[in-house]
Structure formats: structure tokens, C-alpha cells
Chains A and B, each alone.
Chain A
Amino acid sequence: MSESKPESGPVINPRVTCEGCSVLLDINDGDRLVFARLSAGSTLKIGNKTYSLQPLIGCPFGSLFQVESGKEKPYLSRFVPPTEENNVQDEGGSQLQEESRDNRAIIDNNQAQTLTGEDIDAMRRQGATGNEIVEALIANSATFDKKTQFSQEKYRLKKQKKYAPRVLLRRPFCRSICEAYFKKYPARIGFLRVDALSLLLSMANVTANSDALVVDMVGGLVTGAVAERLGGTGSVCSTYLGGTPYPIEIIRMFNFSDEICKRILRCSFNDLCSVQIETGEQVSQHEDDCTMESQSNEKTSLSIGTEDVHLSSNNGDTDLVPENKLSSSSKTCKAPKAGEKAPKEAIQSWKENGFSSLIIAAPEQDAWGLVKDFLPLLTYSAPFAIYHQYLQPLATCMHNLQLEKMAIGLQISEPWLREYQVLPSRTHPCMQMSGTGGYILSEFQVAQLGDPPPPWVNLSRNKNSDRISNRNFWLIFQWLNPRPCSLSMVSGKYANWDCAFCIG
């Protein structure tokens, strides 16, 4: 499924479909959602019939299509509903007569409809449109006139959906992709609901020109959402622990331009932390640091002085598959150019400046473990947000962050979302509702000691932050250990830090 979009040439109008772009098809007003890639040969199945998607190419997003009976077989045709038609459903809108009918006399014995299945098939063969069939069904229903007005509307709508299905062409955007997945395959995105995702993006202050670090274990949805907000500026680094990148296929759905695609980069955690490479004058200092680390660091497998990027042995991982091989094999199942391995210049820049936001969406992992590892890569005063399906790991993480004073403004939030049906005289919350959209822990990174460290020093902080041994950070080492000063954090309120005696 990796057809390439026309790359060079005129700017692709993002509001019109084109050959090879991905679309979201909304069948019967939200009843069914299907992702598809438009091409001459792609098809869609509705009921027991298959329809070609060719007519959809070149149409604006938001177009509506209806099934029409063609000469050979039914096809999808573009359909613009006249404005009057919508009023039919409301029967003149606000002016509703006093409804005198009710359903006391209606017996549901499956005998009300006189048209049979064969009759309908015959009508179809004669070329009747879907709407005509619906009208015929209504005309032949013994109980239709006895129904209340609302009930009639419901009946008409139901028949329409079956005999004259409509397909709405939707643009795959962060919102529609998230909603579709949440409805169809919520487990694949870790039950991340659309409002939780929007909170993650806001709380992490994802904006243009920012460098975002994302730990995305929800199929690529968060990476894609961040890339969408970056809009072709800044960069988003989708990182991973160990040697295998997490799958991020969902970014293929987004129809990203090349400019956006090339800013979606991948880099393993090890590479992000690795010792500096290629800058000659700092090599000797690195060797010093490496020596210090290897002496105090229990992971003595660290190779001293070799500034090579492949330090996968560092974490004790036996997965030593070289990075290049992995990324090239996973390249074939990614959209062209998105999710490329981060080039050395990018890694360099990230290390020097730090990332400006961090989002962790790892609904099956321990939050604290991940935060400990990734937090040092974040620059000072940068916000970060962690999503989890369960509350407990976030509570533990928040508690630890409070104790170790690594962050301020800590807050665990749970979004609550309810949809309403708004119709004349029939307004109420929808009968169905999502029970949970997950939990989010949000906070701001603080600067340690107030003095900016030289860039290369950050690396050593990454290796087991609870065993920090770098000589420039011995002060922090004492400060971060849980000390009597944690007494002052009374009743879980993290605000009363009157513990000046903690320092030094």
C-alpha cells in the first residue's frame, strides 16, 4: 500500500483529493468508517456490493456520494443535497404542531411492510434509485401514518441508510483519524480519545519551530498529530528504548506533504544519549567523562573513547541489530520519507539545545521508568505531558517527580467528554458515551542549579539518573536523593518547598 503521491509539480491543494492520497470514508453518517487510498483500482464494499472509488478522485473533501444504479452495475456518484432536503427532516423546523399520535396501537409483528425482498430487487433491476425505493417502502407500510413525526423521520432515515447509502469523503486529519481509531480499534491507540490527544498537544505546547520528543507507542497517532501542528517547521523525534523502533504506521494516513514528512525523524534512546561524535576539540573531555562513568557506572560494557554511535550494549540490551538495517527494513512499510532515521546534525542540535517538549504515550509501560530516562533530554522550562490508560502508574510517577524535584506544576487530569443530540424538542445528551479517555500527567521541567551546563555534560545525566556521578553534578546528586526535606511536602501538596537546607 505504498503508492507515492506526485511529488514535484504544482502545490497539491489539500482540500481536494488526488490520486494516491489517503482518505477517510464515512458511510451513512458515521455508522462505518473506512480508511482508503484513492487510485483507479481501489474499491469499497457496502453491504454486499463493491463500488469503485475512482469517481472520488479530484473531488473536494466534504463531498457526498450516493449509490446510483448504473448501466452495468451500481456506482458512486457525486451528490449535492439541495438545501430544502434538510428541512424535510425537520418538517418546517421550529414550528411543530402538537403531536397527537403515539404508538399505543402499533404492534410490531413484522407484517407492516407489504413490499417483499424480491419486489425490491425487481425495482432495482428496473433502475429505480435508492430514494425511489425508500419512498415505495414508505408508501407500502401500513403503520407509517400512525407513527409520530419523529418516528417517521427515524424510519425514513433507517431505510435510506440501507437502500440509498451515502458516502462522505473526509479529509484524514488528526481529529478524524483519532476518532475513527477510537471507534474501531481503540486498543491500537491505547484508548487515547480525541480530547485526551488534544490536551496532550496543548499541555506540551507543541507549536511551530519547536523540537518535540515523542515516545509513541500508540501506533504513530501522537507523532502524526505533533507533526501536523509543526506544519513543516521544527522537528519531531519519535524515540524508542532498545533496538527496535515502535511501529508508527498511522502517520501514513495523514497525507503529509514532503516538507512535513522530512521533519518526522526516528532516533533510538541510545543514539540520543551517545557520547559526542566528530567534534575534535571535545574528544579528550569526553574520554575523561567516559572514564569517570565507566568506573562508577556498573554497566562496564560501555566502550571508552570510541565515539561511535552504536552503543546499544550500554543498556545491557543484547539486541545488537545495527540501526541502519532496522530502519531500512522498516522503511518499506512507511510512507515515503516520513520516519527516517535522524541525521547526525539533527541529533547534535537536539543535544545542544534540548527538546522543547516531551510527550510520552506508552499506555502499557511504567511511566516513571520512561520519564527518568527521557527527562534529561528536555530543555529547561519545557513542558511535558504523559498519557496513560491507568491512573496508578501516573500517580507513582507524579509522586516520584515531586520527591526528586525534577518538575513543577504537576497535575494529573482526566478529560471527560459528552456529546449531545440537539434536535427540536429532542435535545439531550447522547445515549452512548465513552467511559474513559485515559489520564494525563502534565508538568514543567525545571533548571537544575540555575547554571546552564555545557552541552556534552547532559549525556552523563541520562545514564541512571539515580546514580549520577558526573563530577559537575555532584551537587545535584545530593539534592535529588530523597532527603528529610521531603517532610515539608505535606499532604501531597507539592508547593511548600521551604527547604533551603537541601541545597549543597
Chain B
Amino acid sequence: MLLMDSSKKISFNRCIREGDLVIVYEKHDTMKAVKVCENSVLQNRFGVFKHLDWIGKPFGSKVFSNKGGFVYLLAPTPELWTLVLSHMTQILYIADIGFVVMYLEVVPGCLVLESGTGSGSLTTSFARAVAPTGHVYTFDFHEQRAASAREDFEGTGISNLVTVGVRDIQGEGFPDEFSGLADSVFLDLPQPWLAIPSARNMLKQDGTLCSFSPCIEQVQRSCETLRSDFTDIRTFEILLRTYEVREWKMDHSKFEDGSSIAGPPCKRRQPSSEASVGDDTSFPAVVARPSAETRGHTGYLTFARRKCVS
């Protein structure tokens, strides 16, 4: 994902090459990850796009199909990747991911342990945060998912920052080789309290731990287990509210009851060329309102710090 090699990072001079991963942006909610290959084509509702046309153009370009429709080609980022990856399990989204990475104090050079890997959404963001000198060791007990995740990390170019292991962390704990070396541990398990004693052994003093659980009972049980060796235990919930923006022409002349405030404005479609801007009785205003559909809950995030004992 253009992380390790500074010669590969996006710039005015960097063009799309064979073998690059691009994010094909059709609409804000329709995106797809595609590996550029000079003999391939992309087919969608806008037509047929030849990859060959893409090679040599910069990222961010608008490219056209045989029918004249177009899409944009974006350079991949962990955020875009989260939106396009194939879901094998329920994933974490940007609000939780961003908060976790900050609250766990993950910076370049850190060693992060994670379980379970799932679809690798959070793992990708961890990799970004620890690059170029840190490492993420992630574990999943499902062999096929682990293999699939490994492939994905190869495809996004972060496989030298991430190692995927197949292991049942709840049952066996983390491998002993990491004892006392981990800066941060992240748990996304059905019964995290079973993994907490092992996490305690893995963490450096004052190291950070986070457990993600959808149910409050899991959180309660985790917190109880944390209390013996951890401090600064805090539980949060984070959600994102998105807004829609549109332009309205508030027309005073349409007013009946003569009050001076612009009450329910008459909503018109976008300013057309006929109703020119010089309309005396109306003026356009840009207004915003929260989106009608929003997520209600993802999970509770419980953070803690390993106590200092020496």
C-alpha cells in the first residue's frame, strides 16, 4: 500500500504501473479494488474499461469506458481498503479503527499483537501505524481466513509488516516468544477474559490493551479480569454521524403569513440555468443535515494499561 518504499509513494510524478492496486471509484458507496494488468478489462454499468488505458496515468485520474462513462482511480489507503475488502467476518470501521490506533498509542516501531484477524480491516491500519520499523502479529483460529488474510496483505503490499498466525488465542494464549515485548495488544474475541492473562504477560509495563466486544456482559467480565494487573481501565463507544449537504433557494415571496423569518423553504432542485442567480426574491443557501440512516452500535472498546511492577 505504498508504505515501505518511498519511491512508490503517490506524487505528481508517480503514475499507475502494471501490478499496482487501484481503487476504482464509481460513487461514494460503490468502490472496488482492482489489480492493474495490461491485458485485463473492467466491466461495470458504465461500460468496459481497458486497464491498458490506465497505465501511465497518475492516480486520481478520471478514466473513460468504451461507452463514454467514467470512473476515478484512487491510490489505496487503509480507509478505502476497509470499504472495499471482502467481508469474511464483521469488520471494524473507520471510527473505531482510528480511535483504537490512537488510544493504543501505536507509533512507528511498535510491536502489536492482535487476535482475531478476521478480514484484516484493523490489521491494515495497524500496519500503517507501525511502519516502517514495527510489526504486527495477528492470529486467527480459522485456517482459511488466516490464509485469505495473508493473501490480502500480499496484495496490498503490507506483508512485510504483518505476520498472520493460526492459533486459538482464547485457548492457548499468545506465543511465549513475545513475552514482555508487546507495546500493544488488541482483542476481538468472543471471550476476551480468557486471553487477558496471556496478554498481561506479553505486554511491556505501561503497555496498552484494547478489547472490542459487542455485548455489555462481555465488557463487564473483561473489566473484572483486567482489574488485577491493569490500570486506567476505560470503556468507550464511538460512532460517526454523517451529514448531507444541499443547496436550497429560500424564496421569501412564497410566504403566506407574512412573518419575517424564512420558514419552511420551498425546496427546489439544483439551480438551473433558467432561474438565474439574480432572482431578487430568493437567495441560495447551503444547508446541512444529518443523514437519515446511521449506525446504532458497533461494539464497546475497553482500554487498559499494564501496571508497573518494578
Contacts and interface: CB of A to CB of B under 8 A. Distances in A.
A229 B107 contact: yes
B241 A83 contact: no
Contacts of B219: 420, 422, 427
B238 A491 contact: no
Nearest to B83: A409
Given A419-B234, A490-B270, A198 B99 contact: yes
Contact of B102 (A15, A201, A452): A201
Contact of A381 (B10, B26, B28, B220): B10
Given A80-B309, A379-B10, A414-B241, A208 B132 contact: yes
A464 interface: no
A316 interface: no
Given A63-B308, A80-B309, A422-B219, A416 B12 contact: no
B18 interface: no
B191 interface: no
Contacts of A197: 102
A61 interface: yes
Contact of A411 (B25, B103, B242): B242
Contact of A205 (B6, B77, B102): B77
A19 interface: no
B21 to A, nearest CB: 12
29 contacts: A62-B205, A62-B206, A63-B308, A90-B224, A194-B99, A197-B102, A205-B78, A209-B6, A210-B9, A232-B108, A352-B13, A353-B12, A356-B11, A381-B59, A381-B60, A392-B286, A399-B286, A409-B28, A415-B238, A415-B239, A416-B238, A416-B241, A417-B237, A427-B216, A447-B57, A451-B57, A455-B12, A492-B244, A494-B28
A419 B236 contact: yes
The dominant DSSP class at the B interface is mixed
Given A415-B240, A418-B236, A399 B128 contact: no
A489 interface: yes
A451 B12 CA distance: 10
Contacts of A174: 102, 105
B13 A198 contact: no
Interface in A1-39: 15
Given A197-B102, A420-B300, 14 more contacts: A61-B206, A195-B102, A202-B78, A354-B12, A395-B245, A395-B286, A412-B242, A417-B99, A420-B235, A422-B219, A423-B223, A447-B62, A486-B270, A495-B27
B235 A444 contact: no
Contacts of A414: 240-243, 290
B98 A198 contact: yes
Contact of A198 (B102, B204, B235): B102
B237 A452 contact: no
B46 to A, nearest CB: 9
Given A80-B309, A380-B12, A500 B68 contact: yes
Contacts of B25: 408-409, 444
B102 A90 contact: no
A175 interface: yes
A416 B61 CA distance: 34
Nearest to B306: A62
Contact of B63 (A381, A416, A450): A450
A346 interface: no
A93 B221 CA distance: 11
Interface in A292-336: none
A426 to B, nearest CB: 10
Given A195-B98, A353-B11, A422 B235 contact: yes
Contact of A353 (B13, B95, B204, B286): B13
A210 B132 CA distance: 11
Contacts of A228: 107
B109 interface: yes
A370 interface: no
B61 to A, nearest CB: 4
Interface string A373-385: 0000001111100
A199 B288 contact: no
A447 B61 CA distance: 5
B178 interface: no
CB-CB nearest 9 A-B residue pairs: A231-B108, A492-B246, A62-B206, A381-B60, A380-B60, A381-B59, A353-B11, A202-B98, A198-B102
B129 interface: yes
B58 A447 contact: yes
A136 B288 CA distance: 60
Given A396-B286, A410-B28, A60 B206 contact: yes
A279 B132 CA distance: 33
